[in-house]
Amino acid sequence: PPLHTLLNLDEIEAAAKTQVSKKCWAYYFSAGDDLFSKYYNGSVFRSILLRPRVFVDCTTTSTATTLLGHKVGTPLYVSPAAMARLAHPDGEAGIAKGISSFGAMQLISNNASQTPEQIVADATPGAIFGWQLYVQTTRSKSEAMLARINKLPQFKSIVLTLDAPHPGKREHDEKSNLEAQLVVDSASNDKSSDEKRPGGGGVGQQLFWGTAADLTWDTTIPWIRKHTSLPIVLKGIQTHEDAYLTARYARAHPGSIRAIILSNHGGRALDTAPPAVHTLLEIRKYCPEVFDTIEVWIDGGIKRGTDVVKALCLGAKAVGVGRAALWGLGAGGWQGVERTFEILQGEIETCLKLLGVKTVAELGPRFINTRMVERD
Ligand code: FNR
């Protein structure tokens, strides 16, 4: 169907399903075990109610904000997700093109299907990117990658993903295995080489090959600092304890970690791990000072503009979409991504107006009722 007839993200996903290969669908759709966390990521937003105020002039609204000190047109960003070219030849560069008119940030996966140089080649002036790092067991490979990123001024952060030291058990993906060769050829990171990669296990397991599982507080951040001066973002924080430890580290080492992403990897790592909403509520309760020390970004299950606004009300500074961008790409290449962002941005603006809010900076807990989630 023509893209303009698709009115919400479920319709985009359904359209993508008819366009992409079975393997691509299985890889993107899949999540750990029973997909509980994947679905709960989305449904938890339905348990938070909005509290609209009246008599507010909302003729004009703005979603502009800053992330790590850089201006962006919207708090909505693209989460790092591997292998965009499985969905469409436009790939990660197509996602960049699709979101360019919204001034949104894009995080590029360590396992992107295009190189970082290709992705930023045609980037719009002012567009900002982050590079997601899966530290490799052969550290020199990651060091070489960081050296390449340091040379590309569009990259403003290194996003260290911590929630997947081991691949989750993703049965949809395992059932529809992909030829190892495609993965090796497509990975932007240096995954080539003579290492013998085991066959089977799905795309996720294939891509995971070579990823380090021995990262710790003591060694990892100092090592990254040695190889880049870019701000570090920790992705995959799922408890208030780890949020607290990150903020404590950030205070003790200024200029190191500048943000955390509350995420359960779209439910793809540990099934029944909490959605970001629960972690946001925990942080508000036990260590609210975290919000003053580092930026808190979230992702997982975003389907509607109201989901984004609710996360902002709980203290998130930015809200990411993983699958939504990939499904947009699958549904219609870069124009499909543009349509996806048009829908979400439109919904965010409608939500702000109906809430009685002019800018995202005004959002706060007074605009939501979380009683139903806190009872869970
Ligand atoms: C991911 N995600 C991910 N995260 C990461 O840090 N590095 C990666 O390479 C990938 N790869 C990846 C592939 C695919 C197909 C998906 C769906 C996801 C996780 C991603 O960044 C994000 O946390 C989730 O996708 C957010 O959930 P939603 O928006 O997909 O519900």
ipTM of the complex, rounded to two decimals: 0.99
| Gap between the Cα atoms of 171 and 32, Å rounded | 7
Partners of 70 in the beta sheet?
67
Average pLDDT, stretch 4-18?
A: 98
User: What was the pLDDT predicted at 205?
Assistant: 77
d(CA 190, CA 87): 22
CA distances 187 to 159, 301, 363, Å, are: 17, 26, 39
Distances in whole angstroms, Cα of residue 213 to Cα of each of 86, 134, 135, 146: 26, 10, 9, 19
Structure token digits, residue 219:
């060694």
CA distance 16 to 29: 11
pTM of the model: 0.95
Catalytic residues: 134, 163, 265
Rounded CA separation 92/132 (Å): 13
pLDDT tens-digit series, residues 43-87 = 999 999 999 999 999 999 999 999 999 999 999 999 999 999 999
Say which residue the tokens 């109610």 belong to: 49
Q: How far apart are alpha carbons 40 and 278 in whole angstroms? A: 11
Band (pLDDT 50/70/90 cuts) for residue 282 is very high
**pLDDT exceeding 90 applies to what percent of the chain?**
86
* Residue 275 main-chain phi, psi, to 5 deg: -70, 160
First to last CA, the chain: 40
Pocket test for ligand 1, best of 85, 232, 268 (most atoms within 8 A of CB): 268
Q: Which residues pair with 72 in a beta bridge?
A: 65
Separation of CA 78 and ligand 1 centre (Å): 9
Q: Is the CB of 82 within 6 Å of ligand 1?
A: yes
List pLDDT tens digits, range 122-140: 899 999 999 999 999 999 9
